Amino acid sequence: MVVNMSNRIALVVVWILVASFLLFWHKWNIEVQYGYDLHEQGDQAYTTTWQLLISPYWVQDEIIELLSETKYELEIRMYQFTSKELLQVVKNLSILGVDVEMILENNTYGGSSKERDRVRTQLEPAWVEMESDEAMWTNFVHAKTMLIDDKTYIISTANLWYTWFWKNREYRFIWDQQPIADSLSLLFDKDMLGEKLLYKDIHPSLLICPLDCRKKIIDVLWSAKDSIRIQTQYIQDEEVVGVLQKKKLEWVEVRILVWEYQDDGWLEDLWTGVLIMDHVYVHAKNILVDDEIFLMWSMNLSTNALDNNREIWIHIDDPKAIASFSRQFESDRKETNIWK
C-alpha cells in the first residue's frame, strides 16, 4: 500500500512538472498580442479587436478555435494546405452548412499538383468550392488569407502546413476591421471568377501583388529616415536591394534577418546589417520602417513575387503590434549568427 501510494505521488509530481514545462514552453515560444482600435462613423463610435500571433508552437489550436466559430461563410486563399486537422475542421464546417470557398495554388514550386489534388479529393464530397490560379493569370497564388463570416480576417506569413505551425518563425494578424474585410472579400470574389482587379477595390491598408505592391513597398523603403528592419526568408530583387544600399549610405540603420536559403551575392554590400537566423526556420515576411510603418505579408522579396504572384500585404499601424514585432526581431537577432 505504501509503495503504491508513493508511486501515485511520484506520478502526480511528474505530471505537474510536465504541465509546468509545457506552459512555460508555450509562453516562451509564442507571443499573442491583443489590442483594440476605436473608430468613428458619423455620430457613432465602435471598436475593433485584433491579435498578432507569433510562432512556432501551439498556433494551430488558436486557428482551429477561431475557424470553428464560423457561422455561415469561410473564404480561404492559400499556397499550401496539408494540415489534416484543419482540413477536417473545414470539411466539418461545410457539412454543417457553412459556405466554404477556397483558392489554392494549382502547381506549387517544382511543378507538383499532388497537394491540391489531395485537398480536392478530401473536400469535394463536403461541397467545398475550390478554384486555382489558372483563371487569374498569375504565376503562383502565394497569398495566405482567411475571411470568416465577411468580418474577421487572418493575413498570415504561413501556409496551412505542419511545419508552418510548429517549427517556423511565422506571424499571423487577425482583425475584424470591416472596411478591410470588405475589400478582401471583393478581391477574393473577383479572383474566384477570374475578373480583373481594380485599384479602387483595394483598401489603403492593403498591398496587392502584382497590382500595386512594388511601388508601395519601394515608396515605404525610400521614406525611411532612421531605421529599416526586415525579417524574411530571402531577398532577391534588384530594385529592393538597390534602395536598401542607398539608404545605408544615407546612414539609415538597415538590419535584416534571413534564412540560410538567401544567396549572399544579393546582399553583400549590406554585410554588417545582414544576419542568418539559424535557431529557427525563418518564414516570416515583415518590414518595419522607423518603428512606425509595419508591413506584414505573404511574399518573399523576390522579383517574381512582386511582379507575377498573387500576394497580399497589410499595413499595421497599431503601436502594440509594432512593439511586439520589434521585440521578437531583436530577440531573434541576439540568437542569430553573423552573415557568412
Q: What would the pLDDT profile of 119-132 be if each residue is shown by its tens digit?
A: 888 898 899 999 98
In the prediction, which pLDDT does 45 show? 45
- pLDDT at residue 27 greater than cutoff 50: no
Backbone angles phi, psi at 267, to 5 degrees: -120, 15
> pLDDT confidence of 17, banded at 50, 70, 90?
low
Output the CA torsion 282→132→182→292 (10° steps).
20
Q: Read off the amino acid at residue 311.
A: E
Its sign, for the CA torsion 185, 182, 307, 289, is negative
CB atoms under 10 Å from CB of 191, counted, come to 20
pLDDT at 337: 66
Residue 168 clears pLDDT 60, i.e. is over it: yes
Q: What angle do CA 85, 206, 152 make, to 5 degrees?
A: 40
**Statement: residue 185 has pLDDT above 90:** yes
Domain 31-197 has CATH 3.40.50.1100: no
Residue 96: is its pLDDT beyond 80?
yes
Q: pLDDT band at 163, cuts 50/70/90?
A: low
pLDDT digits (tens, 9 = 90+) for 32-89: 555 554 444 444 444 557 899 998 866 788 899 999 999 999 999 999 998 889 999 9
d(CA 266, CA 238): 8
Domain 209-338 class, CATH top level: alpha beta
Q: Which of the four pLDDT bands, split at 50, 70 and 90, describes residue 9?
A: low
Whole-prediction pTM = 0.85
B/e letters for 26-53, b = 16+ CB within 10 Å, e = fewer, are: eeeebbbbeeeeeeeeeeeeeebebbbb
Residue 296's H or E segment, with its range, is strand 293-297
Residue 57 C-alpha cell reads as 508552437
CB crowding 131-169: b at 16 or more within 10 Å, else e: bbbeebebbbbbbbbbbbbeebbbbbbbbbbeebbeebb
- Which residues make up the CATH 3.30.870.10 domain(s) of the chain? 31-197, 209-338
In degrees, to the nearest 5, what angle opens at C-alpha 234 toward C-alphas 188 and 155? 25
For residues 252 and 247, give the distance between their C-alpha atoms in angstroms, rounded to a whole number. Answer: 5
pLDDT tens for each residue of 140-154: 999 999 999 999 999
Cell (9 digits) for 147: 475571411
Tell me the H-state helices in 30-156: 59-67, 84-95, 114-123
Average pLDDT over residues 243-252: 95
Please check the confidence at residue 26 and state whether its pLDDT lies above 60: no
